[in-house]
Every structure is written in structure tokens, then in C-alpha cells.
A and B are shown apart, each in its own frame.
Chain A
């Protein structure tokens, strides 16, 4: 997290570093420890304060939750392809998706040496239902939890849903003997609050310095850690710190990619594009936006490739009309596409009776379409480009630039005509389409901005996929939904950023991204010996 004013300066700073580094010779090679038998003693990464790593006290922004997950296991875990067994060896779904029975792994112990029991699992679900965790996956979801014989736990949920296995499976399991009686878990920062069953234990944390140190738990039940110690330390300029060998992995600004590309000393990984910007329309506030052809014209008039090139400097993927990014497990390429075509945009608008430009950038009359575009200060350049392109087809755009929190509040309250929002989570379960386009607007980043759009046919499909438990049927439904979204364009995905990450394979090479999340350093599987498997 960076301050608003600081962000502008930091952008300049990164640009300057790019300039300075770019004008120099190749990266230098400090003497660094290398892996022995695929294992390494210490890995160092960029720090920063992201909160005390308990399920309740880490901060809602940033990677604090992933640090917490090093300590606290869940019943299921995420690898590159989907959910895998973790504290639960197996699970059964019955009652049309309203009942889940998990068989809990035996032989798992807490960091204080006590054994994990099914009662701990029941306690964790009940506790998380009463006190929302920062990653509140099961808050308000569970109806009843009980232990069955044979190390099994049965969970009944309020409503059936295709994503409930994910929600239940990723809820963090906490020790009942520690948390029982804790009424305010957000402020419970005692050392015992860090007792989990995960592969790492926190041995050092400093909030003001932004440092964390994790050591491998030698009695961990699962795949053995390949890294004994994980250190997160404060870093002012990550690229300089990486080149000096102070950290072992960092993200790379697009301008610096050539510096590492093709150099065998470095591995350069392009992450899945699961962070993106979208243009949302408030059809209640601005009636012309209710017209599908107007929205299609806007889509045709905005050059998304240009946004990728000029704003993301090439490190992004153009937005898809069907919303889901190309790297998503349920991505479907819609039949209808919108290549940049201002002439077609003008024709569509003229067909609808709007008196607009002649397709050559010359406006032939007073523009009838006139919108306010709400943005945060970070998106000014992008908005200027959009304004220019829309202006060429006679759609006038007035920019309203405010700070991020103000923009968020105005979008939540429906106080906008068009707005740009940027957030992550585009790789998550496709059910976020249900939240975005079916439910009433709520507060999540994936659900805000739907104002005035209604398509009963789409609602039926969204509801069906929301409860479909058969993956093949669900994939078909989600594909159909993407077709409708591409036709209707209730909002416009502008582009999804694809970060580059660089590391030295000789130092460590176990990095992996989760199937629904882009960052290599966030998965705890990145630090475990996956040859061992999870049995």
C-alpha cells in the first residue's frame, strides 16, 4: 500500500530506476547461496507491514493473508489446476450441494505439539461464522457443523452453491484450545494466536520495520519444506534490492524486461493476467447507456490494444467482452468480438438516431452523447486516452478525478455515470459473474458497478451455474453467459495486467502460481517439496 501522493512519486521513481538501469550494462551477479539437493536455507523477499499473520488480524489489502496461510492450513489447498486435498483427505457433497462431509487427516499436530482433532475443525467453522475473518469465506454461510465418527466433519450450509466447496475448503483451521473464549479476534495478538498446523512458524515480526521471519515447522504433516527460513525485509526499490542480492524474487516493470530476458542466470515469468480494469456504466443515472448499441459503440471506439501498449506498456492482455480473462479456467471466446472500429461505432450510433461523427474523426453536429467518467488519480492517463477515442466518434467525456476511496464510495452509492475500477480477483471462480450481474450491487470489488442492467435470460443462466455441481454443465453455462455478456456489454473489461516476475533459478526454482491467483510468492506450495505429494 502506498499513499496517493506517494504513488505518483513512486511511479516517477520506478521510471527513473528504469532509465538509470536501462542505460547501464547488464545486471551484476552478487555471490549468493545456491540450492543443494533442491533445498535452500534462506529465501528473502520484499517485506512491508501486512499485519499480524492470524486469520483475523492481517490487513485486507496486500499479501498479509498469504503470509497467514503459511502458518494456518485449510481443509483444501490450491495448486496450478484447482483444489487439492490438504487437511481433509477426502470430501463428499450431498443434499444437492447443501451438505459437505470432510474426512480429516490423522496425525496432524499443532505447532504447540497438540493433535488436530475434528473438534478443532468444527470450532473453526463455528468461530468463523460468528467472527468474520479477514478472508471471510464462511461468514454467514454455515447452518450447522458436527463431528461424525471416523474423523469426519459434516457441514450444512444455508443455501446451495457451486462455490461453497471452495469457501469451506479455504477457511482457516484454528486450534480450539487457543481461541476458545477470545471475543475480539482482530485485536488478539498474543504469541499463541500464531499456533497453526502449517509448514511454517513465525519467529520474528516487526510492524514498524515491515519484517517477517518464518521457520519451517519440523513436525509438519505434509510435503517437506524446501526452504528452511523465509525472510521478508523492507525494500525501498525492489529491482535494486534484487540486483544486489538482498531479495531473491521481484516483479519487473515492463521497461526492464529486456534486461533479464534471455539471460540464463535469470528466469522471467509472465504471470496470469488476473488483475484488471473495467469501465462500469450507470444506466439509471445516464439513460442512453441503457441502449445496448451505445455500449457496443463505446466498446468499438475504445482501442484496448492501445491501452495495453501505452498504459500497461505491453504487460497486459486486452479486455474480453465476455469479462473472464483468457487465462481463466472457464474462459470461453465469445462469437461476437469488438475490434477497434470507430467507423462501425459511428454507424451504430447513427442507426440509433444519435447525431455523431462522420467516422473520420470529424464531428458533424453538436454531440448528443455526453458522459462524466469517474476515475481515481491513478487512472488519469488511461481516462485521457479513452476520452480522446470516444471524442473521435462524437461521444463527449468529462473526467472527474478523485482519490481512490472517494471513487469507491461514489461507485457503491451509484453516484456516477461511467467509472473505471481496477482490482484483482479476475481469476477466481466464475461465480463472480453472478454477483456482478445478478445480485444487487454490494461491496465486493467483483460486485460493484451494476446499475440499471437487467437481462432475465442471463439471470436464469447465472442462477443455474450458481448451483450447478457438475463441472461440465457449469462450464457450458458459464460459456453461454460469456456469450450474452459479450452481446450486452453491461460493463467493459479494459485490460488485465500480466506482471513479470524475475528470480535466479540457481538460488531457488520452486515457484508456482495458483490456478486462480497470479503471484508466485503467495502460494505456500512454492516452498514445499511437491514430489512428496499429498496423500
Chain B
């Protein structure tokens, strides 16, 4: 029954979010086909009233809003996300082409910041109040306060422009058709290093502090003293007895950070002209492309909800007490 209740909660959440996704963009003042002003130096094509009427009829925007809402829900059940008003393409295609790049960036950043944050946080905890801890703590506090785009710019200038170690922008070398799969993969990783590093660095501080605090609270525990008394190696104590107990909050943090990481990806994708979904969100909002906004937010919602669901499942696996408590 509880499982059914949880599932109902998720379904209701999705339905509420779907409705918000639909109505919120339409409540914004402005018109997707209205172009009065542009960015500096930018050329814009203004539409006449007649042209706007034609486009609105073509995209069904001349329908009453409630009828549009029902059509939107009906289309969703048929697996259709609609047609982008600005990009002249199916929303599904646009999202599918962009999503893998953002997922790659975000997963890379999660992996990198988790591994490094865990290692450094544990080191700091083990050497608490000693030089290493003080240096690491100061370093982490400093970097976690710098916005991702500034770190990105710094990396861009030093590692790409000055040292020439990495490409300046993009996710792939353009116009290089005759390459093997391995070469393409290497190229993708080469392009992703700086954006992932920039995004990771902003997450690293939080991860480091979390692990450091957990480990500081774990180290004085009796079972750790017992482990040391048994003569176990420091590595074994650290991994099997220390880190294992840090897994629960760490798992929650990783899954919960998905939403904020997508937000961070918007800025990093801007700096590196990276072709992800983050960049697309801001463009879609700016031009009031309702179907695209709905589609992107729906996908992100589903991703975040899936992450929550996965964290719950993992929690049960990692901590049998949760299951027992329910039973």
C-alpha cells in the first residue's frame, strides 16, 4: 500500500508540474512572435500583424487556452512534445539531440566532484586542524564561492588560449568526418575536460565539506577505535568503516544536486559554447517558445524525479533500517 501511495505521489507531482509547465510560460508578458528589440548589433526580422496571425493559427496559439491545455496533455500521452515555435523543429528531436551532452557534462561533474571531494574531505578529516586540513579547507572555501562561468573563463584563458592544451569551445572538432570511433571519443573527452572541470570545481566545495564533516563525526566512534585496535590498515579503516558510513548522506547529496548542476550547466555551456540543454533552456525562455520550454522542463522534471526515486531505492539497499522501519 505504501509503495502504491509513493507512486501516486509521484504521478500527482508530475501532473502538477505538467500544468505549471503549460500555464507559467503563457503567463509571461510578451508574445513569441513579437520582435521589437534585439541584442546589440543583432539583425531582427519583424513580423507583420497578418504574418503573426498566420503563425498563431499554424501552431494552434489562436485556440482558447483550456483547449490548448487539453491538446497538450493528449499529445503528451501520444508521446508528442509538440513543435518548437522558434526553432521550426519537433521539440522531441531538439531535446534528444541536446540532452546527451548535458547529461555527459553533469555526470562527468558529479563523478569528478564526488571522487575528488570524498578523497579530499576524508584527508582533511583525518588530518583535522593540521596544515593539510587548513590549506585544503581554505582552498575549497575560496573556489566554492567563485561562479562557474568565472572559473570557466579562467580555464579558457589559461589552458585553452595560453597553453593550447584544450579546445576553446564546442563539444566536437567541427567538420572532421573521417575519424574512427576511438578518435571521436577522445575528441569528445578532450572538449569536455574544461567544462566538466569548471562545473566540478563549483560542486567540489560542497562535497568536500559534507564528507569532511561526516568523517569528523565518524572518526571518534567506538567501532573506528575498535578497527584501529584490531590493527587494520588505515586504508581499510578509511574505506570499510569510515566511508561506508558516509555513503548515505553522500548518495542523497549526489542525487539531490542534479537539479542545481543543470542550472550551473547553463552558464558553463555559455562560456564554452557547449551544445547542451542548459543553453537551450535560456534561449527557449528568452524567445517565449512555449512548446520547447514545456518539453525541456518536462525532461528535467522527469530526470530529477527519477533521481529522487533512485536515491530512495538506493537508500533502501544501503540502509536496511529504512525497509525495516516501514515493515
A403, B270: Cα distance in complex, Å: 19
Chain B, range 177-226, C-beta contacts under 8 Å to A:
none
12 A-B pairs in the complex with CB atoms less than 8 angstroms apart: A2-B282, A3-B281, A60-B45, A62-B43, A63-B43, A132-B51, A207-B87, A235-B169, A236-B170, A408-B36, A421-B37, A444-B47
Q: Is A490 an interface residue (CB 8 A)?
A: no
A424 touches B29 (CB 8 A): no
For the complex, give the distance between the alpha carbons of A245 and B255 in Å: 41
Residue B30 lies at the interface, judged by CB distance under 8 Å to chain A: yes
| Residues 21-49 of B at the A interface (beta carbon under 8 Å) | 28-31, 34-49
A532 close to chain B: CB less than 8 A: no
Interface centre among A65, A275, A497 (most CB of B within 10 A): A275
Residue of B nearest to A48 (CB): B273
Number of interface residues, chain B, beta carbon within 8 A: 66
Cβ of B51 to closest chain A Cβ, rounded Å: 4
Q: Indicate if the CB atoms of A240 and B157 lie closer than 8 Å.
A: yes
- CB-contact partner of B97 in A65, A208, A423, under 8 A: A208
* Chain A residue at minimum C-beta to C-beta distance from B84: A187
Q: Indicate which residue in B30, B41, B48 contacts A444 across the interface (CB closer than 8 Å).
A: B48
Nearest 8 interchain pairs by C-beta: A3-B282, A405-B30, A444-B46, A236-B169, A408-B36, A234-B273, A208-B275, A234-B170
- B172 within 8 A of partner (CB): yes
Residues of A within 8 A of B272 (CB): 236
A1 touching B35 in the complex, CB below 8 Å, given contacts A9-B149, A243-B161 = no
Contact of B89 among A47, A187, A376 (CB under 8 A): A187
Specify which chain A residues have a CB less than 8 angstroms from the CB of B169 in the assembled complex.
234-237, 241
Known: A236-B168, A246-B168. A405 touches B38 (CB 8 A): no
**Whose C-beta in chain B lies nearest to the C-beta of A231?**
B175
B267 within 8 A of A: yes
Bound-complex Cα distance A442 to B86 (A): 21
Min Cβ gap B192→A in Å is: 13
Nearest-Cβ distance from residue B254 to partner chain A, whole angstroms? 26
Residue B98 at the chain A interface, CB threshold 8 Å: yes
Given contacts A3-B266, A233-B170, A236-B170, 18 further A-B contacts (CB under 8 A): A4-B282, A6-B282, A13-B149, A13-B153, A13-B271, A16-B153, A61-B45, A136-B48, A139-B51, A140-B50, A209-B174, A234-B273, A236-B168, A421-B37, A445-B46, A446-B46, A447-B46, A497-B40
- C-alpha spacing A96/B271, complex, angstroms: 55
Contact flags (1/0) for A422-435 with B, using CB distance below 8 Å? Answer: 11110000000000
Q: Which of A51-59, A80-88, A194-202 contacts B (4 or more CB under 8 A)?
A: A51-59
B63 CB, nearest partner CB in chain A, Å: 17
Residues of A within 8 A of B (CB): 1-7, 9-10, 12-13, 16-17, 20, 47-49, 51-52, 57, 59-63, 65-66, 131-132, 134-136, 139-140, 184, 186-187, 189, 204, 206-211, 213, 231, 233-237, 240-241, 243-244, 246, 251, 275, 376, 378, 402-412, 421-425, 442-448, 497, 499, 517-519, 522
Roughly how many angstroms separate A243 CA and B164 CA in the complex, as a whole number? Answer: 12
| B72 interfacial contact with A, CB 8 Å | no
User: Is the CB–CB distance between A445 and B36 below 8 Å?
Assistant: yes
Question: Most chain-B Cβ atoms within 10 A of its Cβ — which of A2, A244, A443?
Answer: A443
Name B36's contact: one of A135, A211, A234, A421 (CB within 8 Å).
A421
Q: Is the CB of A423 within 8 A of B41?
A: no
Q: Which residue of the partner chain, among A49, A60, A208, contacts B47 with CB atoms under 8 Å?
A: A60
Kindly state the separation between the CA atoms of A170 and B56 in the bound complex, as whole angstroms: 26
Task: Give the chain B neighbours of A9 by CB distance below 8 A.
Answer: 147, 149, 267, 270
Q: Does the CB pair B42–A62 fall under 8 Å?
A: yes
Give the residues in chain A near B273, CB-CB below 8 Å: 48, 210, 234-236
* B285 in contact (CB, < 8 A): yes
The reply to whether the CB of B119 lies closer than 8 angstroms to some CB of chain A is no
Q: Which of A52, A422, A447, A517 contacts B38 (CB 8 A)?
A: A422
Interface contact A189-B89, CB-CB below 8 Å: yes
Bound state CA distance, A10 and B174, in angstroms?
Answer: 24
Bound CA span A251–B30, Å: 31
User: Is B288's CB under 8 angstroms from A405's CB?
Assistant: yes
What's the least CB distance linking A124 to chain B, in Å? 17
Q: Is the C-beta of B101 less than 8 angstroms from some C-beta in chain A?
A: yes
Q: Give the chain B neighbours of A1 by CB distance below 8 A.
A: 39, 42, 283, 286-287
**A202 → B minimal CB distance (Å):** 12
* Residues of A with C-beta under 8 A to B160: 240
Question: How far apart are the CA atoms of A505 and B97 in the complex, in Å?
Answer: 38
Q: Is B136 an interface residue (CB 8 A)?
A: no
